[in-house]
Amino acid sequence: MKKIAVITGGSRGIGYGIAKRLVEDGYTAAILDKNDRKDYQENFDGLTAVNPDCMYFQGSITDKKDREEFVSCVVRRYGRIDVLVNNAGVAPKVRTDILDMTEESFDYVVGTNLRGTMFMTQLAARQMIKQPWEGAKRGTIVNIGSASTTVSSTNRGEYCMSKAGVFMLTTLFADRLAEEGILVHEVRPGVIDTDMTKVVHDKYSKMIEEGLFPIKRWGYPEDVGNVVSLLCSDRFVYTTGNYIDVDGGFHIRRM
């Protein structure tokens, strides 16, 4: 039986890039996304063309009922969860100076990126703990953080704070779940070409051209998918609670 990978926010963008890579690796992908599947049918068809057993569930990681229904659907259908990729995330609807940030925007961004990820992880981890070990581990959890964990953007502070929280969430679950045979990693994309960065596409293209980071090109969803694939493999079994930057070297401090 194929291993089961749950990917939140897998209808498009980075989440789809990850799902595609994992399906090509031999996983069955179970997608949880708030988007209607029909709006991104072509992407889902790209998964089922490789593995017809993939599933799509429309729901939100912020909603307890949706999370629970989704996980029970996955377990009813496949009997297990081997990988959880916490990818679903949002940017603020409007970029605003931190002095003008609204409580609504804070709740929306932190409620999705941190609170949603927290309780999705808890649910999936409880399921993984019920499962037998497969070789050196029982499961893998990968959280999609961001360069914004440490890079300050004062016009989207709620996003930076939410991703800084994901860093500690990764640390906490890595610590707690190691004894359960579940390894927890974080991947920090830099600037990736997706719908999320559409609004700043021209600005970032110019900055990249001018040398914003050492590898002078946009990152693509498959760049992130390839790294997630490695972390989920059996090659990383003595590693937990770390992060990997997938950012063209953006994190390097330069003179």
Ligand X SMILES: NC(=O)c1ccc[n+]([C@@H]2O[C@H](COP(=O)([O-])OP(=O)(O)OC[C@H]3O[C@@H](n4cnc5c(N)ncnc54)[C@H](O)[C@@H]3O)[C@@H](O)[C@H]2O)c1
**Cβ–Cβ < 8 Å for 234, 177:** no
Token output for 124: 């999936």
User: Considering only residues 5, 7, 14, 83, which one is a binding residue for ligand X as defined by CB under 6 A?
Assistant: 14
Q: CB 72 → ligand X: shortest distance, Å?
A: 17
Among the candidate windows 11-19, 67-75, 167-175, 228-236, which touches ligand X by CB under 6 A?
Answer: 11-19
Q: Which of residues 108-147 bind ligand X (CB under 6 A)?
A: 112, 116, 144, 146
Task: Output DSSP code: residue 132.
Answer: P
Q: CB 28 → ligand X: shortest distance, Å?
A: 19
Among the candidate windows 32-40, 92-100, 123-131, 167-175, which touches ligand X by CB under 6 A?
Answer: 32-40
List, by residue number, the catalytic residues. Answer: 159
90 binds ligand X (CB under 6 A): yes
The dihedral over CA atoms of 180, 172, 167, 85, expressed in degrees to the nearest 10, equals 30
Token output for 248: 């063209």
Among the candidate windows 33-41, 70-78, 100-108, 126-134, which touches ligand X by CB under 6 A?
Answer: 33-41
Using CA atoms, how far apart are residues 146 and 26, in angstroms rounded to an integer?
27
**Cβ–Cβ < 8 Å for 149, 160:** yes
22 binds ligand X (CB under 6 A): no
**Cβ–Cβ < 8 Å for 158, 102:** no
Residue closer to ligand X, measured from CB, 12 or 137 = 12
Q: What strands lie across the sheet with 182-189, from one edge to the other? A: 55-58, 28-33, 4-8, 83-86, 139-144, 182-189, 243-246
149 binds ligand X (CB under 6 A): no
The contact mask relative to ligand X for 195-224 (x = CB under 6 A, - = no) is xxx---------------------------
Q: CB 222 → ligand X: shortest distance, Å?
A: 12
Q: Which of residues 59-88 bind ligand X (CB under 6 A)?
A: 60-62, 87-88
- The pairing of strands 139-144 and 28-33 is unpaired
4: enclosing H helix or E strand: strand 4-8
Backbone angles phi, psi at 197, to 5 degrees: -100, 5
Query: Which residues face 192 on adjacent strands?
Result: 219
Among the candidate windows 46-54, 55-63, 69-77, 95-103, which touches ligand X by CB under 6 A?
Answer: 55-63
**Closest-CA residue to 213 (of 178, 189, 177):** 189
The contact mask relative to ligand X for 160-199 (x = CB under 6 A, - = no) is -----------------------------x-xx-xxxx--
- The pairing of strands 182-189 and 83-86 is unpaired
Binding site for ligand X (CB under 6 A): 8-9, 11-15, 32-35, 60-62, 87-90, 112, 116, 144, 146, 189, 191-192, 194-197
